[in-house]
Structure 1
Amino acid sequence: MASGEQQQFPPQRQEKQPGKEHVMEPTPQFSSQDYKPSNKLHGKIALITGGDSGIGRAVAHAFVLEGATVAFTYVKGVEDKDASDTIGMLMQAKVSDAKDPISIPADLGYDENCKRVVEEVVNKFGRIDILVNNAAEQYEAVSVEEIDEERLERVFRTNIFSYFLMVRHALKHMKEGSSIINTTSINAYRGHPKLLEYTSTKGAIVAFTRALSLHLVEKGIRVNGVAPGTIWTPLIPASFTEEEVKSFGTEVPMKRAGQPIEVAPCFVFLACNHCSSYISGQVLHPNGGAVVNA
């Protein structure tokens, strides 16, 4: 994963969101032999939305290596294989006294589904210590005129409604020392000319993170965010043209796309109380060297 080396991906395109990790070439890297766990999340219960692939999978894997019990959501009928693969990976990686990971199919854009997910996790594990809001979708648009109301609502439901709704229900089962981590994007800070509604939701997530951190500080619950840059995930071939995929990442200072495992340690750091107990309302920026006004 050296910087400064020119990189190209094989041209590829997936026609439907969310993308599928198991058909990508090369497969995104969710783990690394260089990652050395140190029991940072021992005994914690974590719920990760969109945890079947991409950044979510890497976060789930890092969490179980650190001793956490993990539940994650995925889209039924589209991400079943990725979810099944992830469960297998987590089972192999989990520590002996952690409980078995679970996957929950859900469309998180709707309140009743978010409530059901939280209740299933609590019924299984008793509480939630770490909530990672990560599920997202995005679509290119050459002109704002091609973004109709239905598409706009769909993206906002997935990317920001779900964050509000998951927090709304999870908070009943979180206590002092718990952590909420929201996945935003570099696009919230620099914009993106072809990802108009996606970028708008990511800006909303930054504002939501800052406001929620102030809202929950007296309860001892920390709220932070991670703003990944150009990362090789299923969103990429499911969003961009073959030519755009081929050159994906070459524009950043490090001249390459990042891998999900290069983002996951940010979530571990923010979830771990003895690493980040004095940090709330902040956003970390694993983005390959791009300088943003954060």
Structure 2
Amino acid sequence: MNIQGWAEIALILGLAVALAWPLGIYMSRVWNGERTWLDPVLKPVEGLFYRAAGVDPTRSQGWFGYAGALLAFNLTGFILLYGLLRLQGVLPMNPQGFEGLSPHLAFNTAVSFVTNTNWQSYGGETTVSTFSQMVGLTVQNFVSAATGATIAAALARAFIASRGAGVGNFWADLTRTTLYVLLPLAFVVAVVLAGLGVVQSLAASVQATTLEGGQQTISLFPTASQLAIKQLGINGGGIFNVNSAHPLENPTPLTNLITAVCINVMGWAAFFAFGRSVMAKKDVRALVIAAVLMLGTAGAALYAIESQPAPALVAA
């Protein structure tokens, strides 16, 4: 343990909370259907989605209808993702030539990504094609995170709703959260990460010559675009088996800082968005302080533990 380590922990938490405050206010405006600075660009796109889906965004749903729509959407997402993974071998954008996933692995992966668990029991660079990563897993990284945000939005409305009033429209919440919050943030972060050296390629791989003169095949994927929403959506399940320990996914200390802040910022923003929506800013400040103390204490304990040398290394 040293002062640099403590400073890094404090920097990440400080940046996450500082950025979360304005982001949370913006999220609350999105949840409440208020005007945002992205309206001139995204409002026509939002309306196009509603017309295509036959959705009336002004029609509020009760808790039963809201929950039913949420479950139906995620069940459909599971079925589509499961089918995509099983049929991966005959689908396009598979330069790696990967076969379809086995039934149990496709089931495990689909359930995991649809529920925002994103637990991986496979090596991404040796199992899942470019098409499956982009169309299957990345899409679920967006909509599973957006689903969690819709629940927070509905809960906030329930706190201030009159008896018998609805809790909002799931389809509108899902569309607005994805379109106004997650997509713009992920776009900016992906461009920044790609500029800092995170790989973004549709090629299968590249051949490299090692210092010893041997040949090495290095897998390539559209990593920056998936990494951005993986972190912002508080997802797991990255392109590579070791996720952010891979040099093509996390090549520099700066990319490490950015991704660490990104995986924290949306959780903190939800505090501020909830507080503004239910008009309980003082209560939310107390929650944020309590969360900072809890996370700081847990982070300090983990840092102290992880800073100790491995017993096997000491014994050797």
TM over 0.5: no
Structure having the higher helix fraction is 2
The normalised TM-score by structure 2 is 0.29
Look at both structures and tell me which one has the larger radius of gyration over its CA atoms.
Answer: 2
TM-score by length of 1: 0.31
